[in-house]
Structure 1
Amino acid sequence: MKQCVNKNLITLKCVLFCFLSGVGCIFPFLPPHMLSLGLDRGEARLISAVAPCIALLGPALLGPLIDKLSVGRGSTGGSAGPSGSGSLLRIVTAICFILSALFYTLLLTVPYSHRHPVRRPQVLFMCDEQSAYVMQEVCKEDMRCNRWSGERTGVLAVGSCEYGCADPNMTWVKKPFTTNNPASTTLSPMYNSVANTTMLIETGNEDEWDYEEFPPHLCYNGKCMVYMQHEARLRLPLSLIAPEPLTDNETADSDWCTYKTSGPSKCTVPPQRLEDLYVNTDECTPAVRCQVLDPYDEPDGVLANAECRLVIGDPTYTFSTYFVIRVLADIWPTAGLALLGAACVIATRETSLGRGDVGRQLAFGTLGLAIFPPLAGLAAEQMPETPYVVPFTLHAVFMLIGALILLVDKHMPLSTPEWWWHTATGALALPMNAVRRYGAETAAVFAVVVLLGMLWSGIDSYLPWTIMELNKTASELNTTTLDMNTTATQIGLTLTAGALPAVPALLWAEALVDYIGHSNVFITAFTFYCLRYTGLAYSTDYTWVAVCEILEVFTLSLVWVTAVLYFRHLVPRKYTVTGQALPVIAHFCIGRCIGALVGGLVSEAPPLESARAVYRALGVAALVAAAVYLALYHLLLAPRCAARPVGPPHHLLQGLNANGASNGTYPPLRVYHEERSRKGHFRY
């Protein structure tokens, strides 16, 4: 009777437990951590997309390197070198764990920066016989005026122009505009036509103007424009000069910043208007004031990007530092995942004597993914000042424990693959030149895993942000600040919801995938991705998010073990580590990058509704992918493969017949994997 627990694999299970626990403690908290450092969402999306591209260097380089160093040093009949005993794989994996702990911990040292929400202060415009003035409220954040070197040229859109009396305190200029103001212009029919306006602008001859019921004329650099009430908007071309900065001994004595025009400008007020307004020219200055329209949004506006901004720290330095550390950090857990996949394949000894236990090893490791993320989130909520110290520290601790186990346990069954590939008789070893190359099939499965990785990343890369937005909506918060402290446990529980159902599924994963077939597992995954995206698109609270995460057992856990098992069969044994690097590169590097790009197509306002639109689109894409895959495989590929039996070479057939009767026909994979052995036919 087969033992339920293989004592030789206990330490490997512990390493997987530590690895997945460490990954679970840090991965869901990376998106909110980026925002907490002051990065905006655009910068965070860029990092989320670029980091997986750089991370593929780990498995892409280490996989072939370990395979190359292992060839010839542990072959049957030869002496067992260091790599033949599996020490190379253990040491390199331990190094990846240590570097992962180091680089992710370094993220805690990235300096904080903060961009306060942009405030748009009020803007006023006044013009008298001496000059024109644009006035802007002082930025209360830092009590400074917006300044620039030289002149700034652009357009100022104005409306509701009127005559009045400007006193030294600018009391009249600061008064709010009212439609019933007696000082507003009253235009005669001769000024209510575009033709007359154009004539006045082109002539620019002030002496010919009829001042009877004179509308406001705004003159700049010898050219005058007339405000016409029926037009509602007048675009004034201006060049402004910023005020001189205060010296160390000066203090601001006004709540307004005044910008003068660089060229000659004036507004002449006719005597008739002065009489109508009862203006005493000895006590005030006759002037024209206008309401400024959309000063920061007007195309080619002279005050574009002149809003009040308060920046703490150096956002550029924060972004560049985080970017470099993060892209380097993501390399090592990605490489570690590929090496652990190879370790599971080698250690479980999938031979003619029986089926391997890859799924059982992953099931034990998944327990850590279910237990520790919510605990890390709960601990983070208890430390509101430094919420990310606990998750990052737990990640480092688990990674270091896993590395220690790998370095100490020299009896872990990780010998090179050539040692353990044998038959029941112990006399036959399949020669590599008898193995048919499955390049096209490998490429096809690689592409499918890339698509599944894209759909996975479209959810998981930004799911914490969705949870935060749902919580803000539920509590009717109008602020733009994302408070991680109130949602950390919920973010961690999303991993628990997906990992707990995966544990029993992974225990019997190999038999399940063998029975169902890899293509049906992938088709099922695409279908459940459609359900997950649809649920997230219409989620109104966290409960629905958690329910959608339960479906991850079909979209990630079974998909991943299927990919590991399938590449185990496709790739020759001497390339075992490279073969296990392929699904990691496909799913967690290329697919994750594409998914982060697609999932990041979310506008800033409102982000929740925009995210729902992206979820709906990706849900439709997943359904289409499932339908296309179903049609291609079951209507085209499967019938053709079943209709082309291939006979094995004579010397292989003799060896296979030693283990049982033969019917004389074997599909390619059955020859390669000894279909007549007791492990049965893996349905691919």
Structure 2
Amino acid sequence: MKQLINKNLITLKCVLFCFLSGIGCIFPFLPLHMLAIGLDRAEARVISAVAPCVALLGPAILGPLIDRLSVGRGSTGGSTGQSGSGKLLRIITAICLILSALFYTLLLAVPYTERHDARRPHVLFMCDAEGAYVMQEVCTEGMRCNSWSGEKKGVLAVGACEYGCADEDMTWLTEPFSTTSTTTTLSPMYNSVANVTAATETVTDDGDEGADFEVNPPHLCTDGRCLVYMQHAARLRLPLSLTAPPRADNLTDNAHTNDLSDSNRNNATLDNWCSYRSPFQCLVPADRLARINTMDRPCRPAVRCQVLDPYDEPDGVLADAECRLIIGDPVYTFWSYFVVRCIADIWPTAGLALLGAACVIATRETSLGRGDVGRQLAFGTIGLAIFPPLAGFAAEQMPDSPYLVPFLMHAVFMLIGALILLIDGSMPLSPPEWWWHTASGALAVPLSAVRRYGAETAAVCAVLALLGALWSGIDAYLPWTVMELDGTLARVGATLSAGALPAVGALWWAEALVDYVGHSNLFITAFIFYCLRYTGLAYSTSFAWIIVSELLEVFTLSLVWVTAILYFRHLVPRKYTTTGQALPVIAHFCIGRCIGAIVGGLVGLGGELSGARDVYRALGGAALAAAGVYLALYHLLLAPRCAAPAAAPPAALLRGMNGNGASNGTYSPMRVYHEERSRKGHFRY
């Protein structure tokens, strides 16, 4: 058991267990929570894309800061400096966990909003000598009319225009039309206002001249010009400039809604209608006016038209004026959630980088032996496998506030992890003494050595960013897909468990696997498995297919992540350990996650299931192409060029190694693209 469990690392394992458990309790439910508080999918995609960009501030600032402060304290080589550096890392990591618990819990306080798209309300059009009126029905109790400042310009398509009598209660607008439109569409005719009363001779649709005469057809005039509606034209596009009254004046005091179905259209009143004005004018000719005045009721002469496709007409003035039932303030809800979520994402992202550095430091990996970073992560992954479905199941038992339990579970786990970090002063987080000598003594790594590996570091970051984009393309919106397949919150949590369960065993032996297979080959394998995962999701018809796809996440996330930790452990000088562990977090979980959310959002991922499947197929092809390019570049170009001949190690390094154990007498600097052919003991430290 001595080889399996290191008692000095038990508390670190507990911290990782709490951290990953807390992440698992909240991460799969965030996309659903955004919709639950009233944000639409477009707003949720914006938050999913922007939050990772803001989150990179955490590791980007705290990583170099801790390295700088640690080197300053440890340069004396005394025990005080080493202890101080370990305490600094513990305290800052604990603060990150506490702030994560605080800000994610604040998301529960974001005010709720609700927006209902009602059935498309009816639209009426009337025009008299005083102006034109566009009347829009308020179709649900509590709905409010659209309002804007100034004039709103656009097109309104009308047909079946006719003269009539506008009574006081405006019920004439709701009566059936005496004329019907045809299927013929002609360009509108322009006349001057002076010719409004002129007779107009028309022809019928079958071309028989003189078969029908239309005298004084309706004229709709503005700015000295008139549009003439002809019965055979069927469709007239009016260029309107609408003015909306203040919102308080849009509706009458009555709260009920008029039903304008065909059966009771004649009995409807216009109490609950939104009224918009336009400068159009309609003059009624004398002969028509005489006919109207014979009616028994008082009225004013007017022209009414049947409105055609008010919400679908190209450049329509009412294209975005559909009535909606709005509860709360959608704008305030979006921006408050946006700000809190962006700040909240900073802290677990920074905590992930700091805990990665803690694993590297605490396992005491040296040139002569193998650490057990993977085993620390394996223990933490157990929590990631257990608690997400439990959090989802608990949420289902509270239908009134389903996301309260997952958010509180996240806060509890984060606070427990922070408490362990603050209490346990014996956690081995101060680097070994020979690390300080390497950073500040005779074996200090020169800046030229850092620059020499800068291109390799950038290349690895680019690969991790691409892998992160593929990961985010699935996980950012997967909960939406699960719910569209009649899923439950427990099933949403189970998607994380499906990927974490096989990862426990893989991470336990991860370091030996990485050393045997090689870093680059594992990255290539990840691209191939992303292709398989996307292909499975593209043709999934049930939740079972999603679980099968998630089981493959051990190859695309878990092994990729431990490979990145081990990669940067040797690629970056020891005095930049925390910065070195922050780089893969920034590349994969910030930049890559942002790109994946943007790509998924632009093409509609997470919307209709058929659209999501098209995206899955496209990204699966991209993953396979990336695997092929990476394989060709690495094995045909980079690996042969980067092979470094064995050379005698520097005398100073031999003395340092002899102080810790026997040396094998050879030395070759680690080259990233040739690490498979090197063995332990051949790192540049």
Band of TM-score, shorter chain = 0.7 to 0.9
Counterpart check, 1:397 vs 2:412:
yes
Query: Is the alpha carbon distance of 1:292 and 1:79 closer, same or farther for their aligned partners in structure 2, counting shifts above 3 Å?
Result: same
CA apart distance, 1:430: 5.2
Aligned 8 A contact 1:25 1:394 in 2: yes
Residue among 300, 305, 308 paired with 1:293: 308
**Separation in 1, partners of 2:411, 2:371:** 31
Letter in 2 for 1:651: A
Aligned 8 A contact 2:107 2:341 in 1: yes
Query: Is the alpha carbon distance of 1:443 and 1:172 closer, same or farther for their aligned partners in structure 2, counting shifts above 3 Å?
Result: same
Residue among 659, 664, 683 paired with 2:662: 659
**Separation in 1, partners of 2:344, 2:370:** 36
CA apart distance, 1:659: 2.8
**Separation in 1, partners of 2:354, 2:147:** 56
Letter in 2 for 1:254: L
Query: Is the alpha carbon distance of 1:100 and 1:260 closer, same or farther for their aligned partners in structure 2, counting shifts above 3 Å?
Result: closer
CA apart distance, 1:603: 3.7
State the match for 1:548 in structure 2. 549
Query: Is the alpha carbon distance of 1:7 and 1:661 closer, same or farther for their aligned partners in structure 2, counting shifts above 3 Å?
Result: closer
Aligned 8 A contact 1:351 1:422 in 2: no
CA apart distance, 1:301: 3.5
Please give the per-residue CA displacement for 1:14-40, whole angstroms capped at 9, x wherever unaligned: 110000000111111111111112222
Letter in 2 for 1:453: G
CA apart distance, 1:114: 1.8
Residue among 300, 319, 334 paired with 1:319: 334
CA apart distance, 1:646: 4.9
Aligned 8 A contact 1:421 1:429 in 2: no
Aligned 8 A contact 1:112 1:318 in 2: yes
Aligned 8 A contact 1:157 1:234 in 2: yes
Letter in 2 for 1:350: E
5 Å matches for 1:329-478?
329-419=344-434, 431-433=444-446, 437-471=452-486
Please give the per-residue CA displacement for 1:417-458, whole angstroms capped at 9, x wherever unaligned: 4446899xxxx9955359674222112111111111111111
CA apart distance, 1:607: 3.0
State the match for 2:530 in structure 1. 529
5 Å matches for 1:73-152?
73-74=73-74, 78-81=78-81, 83-84=83-84, 86-127=86-127, 132-142=132-142, 145-146=145-146, 152=152
CA apart distance, 1:127: 4.3
Query: Is the alpha carbon distance of 1:272 and 1:588 closer, same or farther for their aligned partners in structure 2, counting shifts above 3 Å?
Result: closer
Aligned 8 A contact 2:362 2:428 in 1: yes
Query: Is the alpha carbon distance of 1:215 and 1:233 closer, same or farther for their aligned partners in structure 2, counting shifts above 3 Å?
Result: farther
CA apart distance, 1:219: 2.8
**Separation in 2, partners of 1:354, 1:6:** 15
**Separation in 2, partners of 1:192, 1:249:** 38
**Partner-residue secondary structure (3-state), 1:201:** strand
**Separation in 2, partners of 1:336, 1:359:** 17
Query: Is the alpha carbon distance of 1:316 and 1:256 closer, same or farther for their aligned partners in structure 2, counting shifts above 3 Å?
Result: closer
State the match for 2:569 in structure 1. 568
State the match for 1:478 in structure 2. none
State the match for 2:585 in structure 1. 584
**Separation in 2, partners of 1:247, 1:629:** 62
State the match for 2:258 in structure 1. none
**Separation in 1, partners of 2:648, 2:553:** 40
State the match for 2:198 in structure 1. 208
**Separation in 2, partners of 1:410, 1:604:** 47
**Partner-residue secondary structure (3-state), 1:71:** helix
**Separation in 2, partners of 1:604, 1:289:** 44
State the match for 2:209 in structure 1. none
Query: Is the alpha carbon distance of 1:635 and 1:652 closer, same or farther for their aligned partners in structure 2, counting shifts above 3 Å?
Result: farther
Please give the per-residue CA displacement for 1:47-106, whole angstroms capped at 9, x wherever unaligned: 212211121121112112222222253458534336456111111111111111111111
Which range is displaced more, 585-594 or 111-120? 111-120
Letter in 1 for 2:270: S
Query: Is the alpha carbon distance of 1:169 and 1:504 closer, same or farther for their aligned partners in structure 2, counting shifts above 3 Å?
Result: same
State the match for 1:308 in structure 2. 323
**Partner-residue secondary structure (3-state), 1:208:** coil
**Separation in 2, partners of 1:185, 1:547:** 57
**Partner-residue secondary structure (3-state), 1:81:** helix
Letter in 1 for 2:538: A
CA apart distance, 1:126: 3.5
CA apart distance, 1:209: 2.1
**Separation in 1, partners of 2:514, 2:347:** 29
Query: Is the alpha carbon distance of 1:524 and 1:228 closer, same or farther for their aligned partners in structure 2, counting shifts above 3 Å?
Result: same
Query: Is the alpha carbon distance of 1:301 and 1:381 closer, same or farther for their aligned partners in structure 2, counting shifts above 3 Å?
Result: same
**Separation in 2, partners of 1:143, 1:319:** 20
**Separation in 2, partners of 1:290, 1:120:** 18
**Separation in 1, partners of 2:60, 2:130:** 72
Query: Is the alpha carbon distance of 1:356 and 1:113 closer, same or farther for their aligned partners in structure 2, counting shifts above 3 Å?
Result: same
**Separation in 2, partners of 1:330, 1:131:** 55
CA apart distance, 1:367: 0.2
CA apart distance, 1:494: 0.5
The normalised TM-score by structure 1 is 0.85
Please give the per-residue CA displacement for 1:491-528, whole angstroms capped at 9, x wherever unaligned: 10000000000000001000011110011100000111
Aligned 8 A contact 2:654 2:663 in 1: no
Which range is displaced more, 459-468 or 547-556? 459-468
**Separation in 2, partners of 1:155, 1:526:** 50
Query: Is the alpha carbon distance of 1:271 and 1:562 closer, same or farther for their aligned partners in structure 2, counting shifts above 3 Å?
Result: same
**Separation in 1, partners of 2:173, 2:681:** 90
Aligned 8 A contact 1:186 1:213 in 2: no
**Separation in 2, partners of 1:609, 1:164:** 50
Which range is displaced more, 497-506 or 7-16? 7-16
**Separation in 1, partners of 2:506, 2:311:** 57
State the match for 2:504 in structure 1. 503
State the match for 1:268 in structure 2. 284
Letter in 1 for 2:12: L
**Separation in 2, partners of 1:357, 1:604:** 39
State the match for 1:55 in structure 2. 55
Aligned 8 A contact 1:163 1:185 in 2: no
Aligned 8 A contact 1:417 1:576 in 2: no
CA apart distance, 1:161: 3.0
Which range is displaced more, 119-128 or 598-607? 598-607
CA apart distance, 1:602: 3.5
**Separation in 2, partners of 1:172, 1:605:** 47
Aligned 8 A contact 1:55 1:334 in 2: yes
**Partner-residue secondary structure (3-state), 1:588:** helix
**Separation in 1, partners of 2:130, 2:436:** 96
Aligned 8 A contact 1:218 1:266 in 2: yes
The normalised TM-score by structure 2 is 0.85
Query: Is the alpha carbon distance of 1:554 and 1:36 closer, same or farther for their aligned partners in structure 2, counting shifts above 3 Å?
Result: same
**Partner-residue secondary structure (3-state), 2:160:** strand
Aligned 8 A contact 1:37 1:114 in 2: yes
Which range is displaced more, 130-139 or 616-625? 130-139
CA apart distance, 1:317: 1.7
Aligned 8 A contact 2:251 2:271 in 1: no
CA apart distance, 1:151: 5.5
**Partner-residue secondary structure (3-state), 1:115:** strand
State the match for 2:16 in structure 1. 16
State the match for 1:631 in structure 2. 632
Aligned 8 A contact 2:116 2:325 in 1: yes
5 Å matches for 1:662-677?
662=665, 666=668, 668=670
Aligned 8 A contact 1:90 1:407 in 2: yes
